[in-house]
Amino acid sequence: MPIKRYTTSSDGIIVLKMMNQLLKLSRGFQAHTKRTRELEIRISEHGVEIVLDVIVYIFAEWRNWNERDRYFNPTTLFRKSNFDRYLEDFLIFQEQEQKNVLKTAPNERKQGDLMGTIEEYIRTVLGHSEYARTHYMRLSHDGKKQINEYLNKCRNKGILPERASIIKLLQKVA
């Protein structure tokens, strides 16, 4: 009987690397195993950026839980019933964070300054993703310059900071 091979997409490998980094594992979770099937399904359902954000959120939420290392694994995190619950918690958290950012009443904001300075815009984009923030900090000066130019274009086009995505660009620049 032939051995069944599982494939993991490049996005799946990125997620596994992030999990290994968070847990500070040298060998860590491996790609191309049975345990990554659910991960691939969650990526196809929600996209890699959401999956990464949920993982970082759950890791932070579980920071004071002694059993975190035992349950922070692909099988537990990406089981449909669990991931749906984690995603819902993350979205509620994100919504509350957004309310905290937007405490200024809309009529108190200047019409031409809805997105703030480019520095505030970049800070807001990076603030939405621990993954993006971590990788941005590791970039060379030229890499950061490329990201900043891209975000400046997004800002000039009127794209809201929470809609500006830099994950793919970070992977290309890194």
Question: What pTM was computed for the model?
Answer: 0.56
What are the start-end ranges of the E strands in the chain? none
The confidence score (pLDDT) of residue 174 equals 65
Tokens of 61: 């939420």
Of the two residues 10 and 6, the one the predictor is more confident about is: 10
Task: Name, in order, each residue with C-beta under 8 angstroms of 84's C-beta and a sequence gap of 6 or more.
Answer: none
Query: Average pLDDT for residues 1-22, to the nearest whole number?
Result: 75
Q: Tell me, what amino acid is at 117?
A: T
- Which range is least confidently modeled, 29-33, 55-59, 107-111? 107-111
Cα(42)–Cα(3) distance, rounded to whole angstroms?
25
- Which range is least confidently modeled, 14-28, 90-104, 145-159? 90-104
pLDDT band at 158 (very low <50, low <70, confident <90, very high): confident
Tokens of 151: 């975000």
Which phi and psi (to 5°) does residue 145 adopt?
-65, -45
Of the two residues 141 and 8, the one the predictor is more confident about is: 141
Query: Residues 43, 94, 159, CA angle at the centre, nearest 5°?
Result: 80
Work out the mean pLDDT of the chain and round it to a whole number. Answer: 77
